[in-house]
Structure 1
Amino acid sequence: MTRTSAPEQLMDDIARAVADVPGVAFLRPALAGRLRSALGRPGASAGGAASGVRITPPRDADDVWRVEIHLVALADARAVDVARAARRTAGEALSAGLPGDDVRPSVTVTVTGLV
């Protein structure tokens, strides 16, 4: 991944990395994203790779990058192991997308279902 400052590109990079984690079935969009997708509004990322990822950049020097991931795991995988691997992968993807920056991510992974 190359350095990028666009939050949409960071979300896409993180989503692609997390989607490749063993045990992840797919990323799940939040309700707001699903509604935006149903309304067909331009610029909505609900239909793209980042539909289950939300990032918030730091507001000041003491704040951290916040990454929220909602995913559905495969039933034959332990959800806790999938969540841990997704958390680690998301942090690595964020750091790779912002090289040279002092990236301190706070990553939250929610497993919303099993298939």
Structure 2
Amino acid sequence: MSQSTDDRPPLGVRVLTPDNRIGIYYGPHGHPESATHAVLRPVGGGIEWTAPYAELEVLAEISEYPRKADVNVLHVAWVEHISECYACLGGHECAIKDRLNKALMIGAQESA
């Protein structure tokens, strides 16, 4: 049975899986309408994995007002994301890249 798209977390939120891994939600694994698993990535970048939607716990959205200490982590995540995201590599719109850009821009302004 597929997970209702209304019950899925928003793109870019941090989630916790039952094995205590924290990842950023990148979207459904497989066809969007029938996917039962989510694609996740480590917060600082790295190899993606999947987990069942029913087992995810949403932790928090990526802050639009990051602390100075978080700006470096966001920058690493941004570099990793744009180097591996099919949408970004193809020059298409990407909600996660947009959120990371916004958070980095605000973080840079606060650091100045």
Shorter chain as denominator, the TM-score bin is under 0.3
> Structure 2 length normalisation: TM-score?
0.26
Q: RCO greater where, 1 or 2, for CA within 8 Å and sep 6 or more?
A: 1
Task: Give the TM-score, by structure 1 length.
Answer: 0.26
